[in-house]
Each structure stands twice: as structure tokens, then as C-alpha cells.
Amino acid sequence: MTSNTSLNTSTVPIPVTSGGTGLATMTTAYAPVIAGTTATGNLQVASTGQSNSGYVLTSTGSSSLPTWQAVPGGSSIFTQVSVAVTPTQMLNNVGVDGVLLVAAQGANTMIVPVSVVYEYKYNSVIYATGGTTYLAYDLGGGWYATNGVPASDFYASADSVIQDQLKFEGPYSVSANVVNKGLYFYSLSNFTNGNSTVNVHVTYQVITTVAS
């Protein structure tokens, strides 16, 4: 016996009871899929807060979708990023706006570096001149997050690793300098002549602030 029955999924979502999601679309890219409000209900997605780097999926209580939130205590878990600052950027960008390492995390958040390491990968030509380098909030070195590393540390003709010192001082008199600002690799001036890469390794956390 031959069946002529066909399943058209273009307009009718497959129900959960038949192994489907019950939805025509999951609505949000990269969001985790969550069970429905009943054993046979349509699936859901947990997307609230997921764009915040370092947030964790957190229960919001019975009969409620979990959301992405900072770790209790007001700060997120540590996150580590590595950004290769190219010779072109060393010669043209670091002394102007800087090179973005971590994007701004949103209103009432501040990126707090935990450790910073510069990995200088020598190529064939040393940098002749340049400026003291920092991690800075916002374009153009708006506010420094670390102490400065002398430009001469990047004049080497061999690979080297430089550990930067965090800058703990305060209070920050103007919250607008550091709240909802990206973190940049910045120099007081562009470097000249060299052709080596600087890999910037940053471990940081994101805290929730009272100031906006």
C-alpha cells in the first residue's frame, strides 16, 4: 500500500509532540533552546542579556525563562582575549585612536583589566621611535587603565614578553570616561620603521556600575 500523505513544513511548524520545536523560527541567533511552558508546549529561546560578554545563564525562578546575567556580587567571570596588533597598526593607528581590544559592554558597565601581557614578535626591522603604551578606555586614549610601558621595550631585535602593570587609583572623577567604554591598546604616538607584531593578551572582568 502506498501512502500519498506528505508533510509540508513551510507554513506549519512541527509540534513538540512530533519531535519538532513548534516554532517557525528560533528568533535569536546563538541563543540556547529552552523547554516550553508545558511538557508539550512550543520550545523557547533564552536570549535576554546574551550579548553581554562574560555573562552566565541564570535561573529567574519557577515558571520563568532563564536570562544571561552577571555573576552575583556585581561582576562577571574573567574573560581572556588576545589581539594581534599588526605592524601597519603600530605605524598608523596606535598613536591616533588606538586598537580596539574589548568592545564597550553597555550602559552601567565597566571593563576592568585583571592582567595584561604584551608579546612582541620580532620580524626583521626594529621600531625606531614610538610613544609610551597603555591600555585606555575609549578612542584616543580617553582614560588610562594601566601604567605605561616605555616605547623602548618594543625596540628589541628578538622576541620578548612584557607584563604591564595595572593602574589602581581613584576615584574616577568623571564616570563618563570609563563607563560603557571600549578598551584599547594605545600609544602616545605612532611607531616608525618597524615591522613586528605585538600580541596583546588581556584578562578582564565586566562590573555593573551605579553611574551611567
Q: What is the pLDDT of residue 190?
A: 97
Same domain (yes/no): 112, 129: yes
The residue from 72, 94, 124 where one domain ends is 72
Query: What's the total number of domains in the chain?
Result: 2
- Residue where one domain finishes, among candidates 55, 72, 89: 72
Residue 154 grid coordinates: 618594543
pTM equals 0.66
Residues forming a β-bridge with 116: 202
CATH code, domain carrying 147: 2.60.120
Contact 89, 196 (CB under 8 A): no
Name the stretches of the chain with pLDDT < 70: 1-10, 54, 71-76, 168-174, 211-212
As a whole number of angstroms, the distance between CA 166 and CA 177 comes to: 17
212 closest CA partner among 138, 110, 72, 113: 110
Provide the total of helices (H) and of strands (E) in the chain, helices listed first.
Answer: 1, 12
The verdict on 117 and 192 lying in the same domain is yes
User: What residue numbers bound the domain in which 48 lies?
Assistant: 1-72
pLDDT the model gives residue 171: 54
Is 197 found in the same domain as 105?
yes
The confidence score (pLDDT) of residue 76 equals 53
pLDDT at 36: 84
What's the CA gap between 194 and 199, in Å, rounded?
A: 15
Q: Is residue 181 classed exposed, middle or buried when 0-12, 13-18 and 19+ CB atoms within 10 A define those classes?
A: buried
CB 88 within 8 A of CB 193: no
- Indicate whether 16 and 96 sit together in one domain: no
Angle at alpha carbon of residue 151, lines to 146 and 152, rounded to 5° = 130
3-state secondary structure of 178: coil
> What is the rounded CA–CA span in Å between residue 46 and residue 172?
35
Residue 79 grid coordinates:
574573560
- pLDDT tens across 10-44, in order? 678 889 888 788 888 877 888 888 888 888 888 88
Same domain, 103 and 148: yes
H/E element, 90: helix 87-92
Spacing of C-alpha 40 from chain mean position? 37
- Strands (E) located in 14-129: 33-34, 44-45, 56-58, 67-69, 79-85, 99-102, 109-121
The last residue of a domain, from among 15, 37, 72: 72
